[in-house]
Structure 1
């Protein structure tokens, strides 16, 4: 007999041990009673004990597994065998009729449908009543004395069976609900995990785009410029370009190491945001010849006191805007302005370049990445541009109190 662990069983199955115990205790009582009874001849006593032995073995090897597996064939085989054994046992020893109170619920426990249980309960009571009449000699008095007890047994058995049936149904509903909840929980956990992985990938993509990719673009452009100047024989200019390439490569290497360790830019861990922006402006001007100015509409101390996360977002916005100027704008001058207002802290990057149509889907990954980073901080990005009229990018990040509200 295969027994599943209690943790995997429905509640009603976990209480079956009590039913098994009561059944075998009653079986033992009637066995003892028949063994010491003087009303039974030796032959009848032997036949009676064999019937009880068959019933005990059938219950252990057929009924108990059927209660767990709900196997239709096993359930019917046991119930028919049980009805036959009980009827024959009552015919041999009528005092054992009280065992009906434990075998009647077994019919319901092993039924899939209420109708099946009612029919088999009637069959059991008719068989037992017939056995009692046979033992009493088929007299009319015996019939009328047996009939009330059979009717009472029918009512009690039906009420108990209906209660058992409802307990089983409710237990199954709860098991289905628990299974559904566990399935939903697993699905939600998987969805949260997938969302977390995608968000982390997107953040990594933005970090790489704003740091390593832009640094590599600078190196490529400096190398191309150095190659042209080398052909013209400008050794001094080439040396300056090579020095700039080395500086950019070192910064890229430091940024790569920072990406592995954390997401705070190396430059901000060594200097204030204002100083970093001015260094970026100087290097950009040296590499491209574009005049880049940094302006503060707020005290430098307030800039330094900004939360690290806000400083990172502002720096990345400036880097992305400068990268777009390098690749697309053809500008002669760029102005970077840090501002503080009632709405929060902001940065504005404007140039006098070619401009573009902001609604154009081909405006590139850089602006989309900038918007994503700023919106994660609760901020907004506004792009004002038109072909031939330059570009102005405004980033505004609300203060902590405003963001929470």
Structure 2
């Protein structure tokens, strides 16, 4: 009930009554002043009260009618503005206000209606632009996925050719030569057998690293810690590296961030399998989001590796951390192992 009394129509009615009764008050003051000071014969107290009562009875219904009639027009126009705003909030950007009756007068409400119609036009145009950009982005994403898939296939094919394929070819040639030396020079044949064993181990390590790249690079709904733990368990079964894993489930990240971190850890472990010849690897988390991966392998010259155009893995790690607003730090020295730090701000 009180809420209805505060709407626009009743506010206009109240304003009209306030005007009428203020005018009556002014008229009454003038009449009483005239009666008290001048005391004319035609003016009496009875005539003053009768006049005020007559004016009140006559003006009250007129004020009510005029107020409701005018307030109805104003409320109708304001309701149109309210409906338009409601439609825009629901995403119906084709809605418009038709205010033809006051087009020529051009009052404030008409200007507001025109401004809202202009705003609706701009929002509709922006929505069309966003939808067009979304379609273009989807097309670009599909093309980028195709290109990335082709690049990854080419890289794996190149790695197979440069590493595993050449090692297998060398193993074939050495094994054939060793067979011929068994009777002629057993000592030299034994030395070559040891080399064959070492080359086979290296080829096996390269193949494991390539298989790690072919492993699914998503967490399948698991947490980052669980995904890394499962990855390490798989690697323990395939190689003789001793892993020291120190992670906890206390930190919860956005899924996209966890996916990126998981891919980066996978890339670092792949590099360790292929190049480090490490016996132990340590993975731990410190501070907020700071992953440390350390191995005791043969190490390398970081500057030369980063300048090498074929250093695809390290550049990818750097780019992925920068996409998350973080930093990737790698330190290594020949003969002293490698230290990698992936730091992402919360």
Settle same-fold status: TM greater than 0.5: no
TM-score scaled by structure 1?
A: 0.38
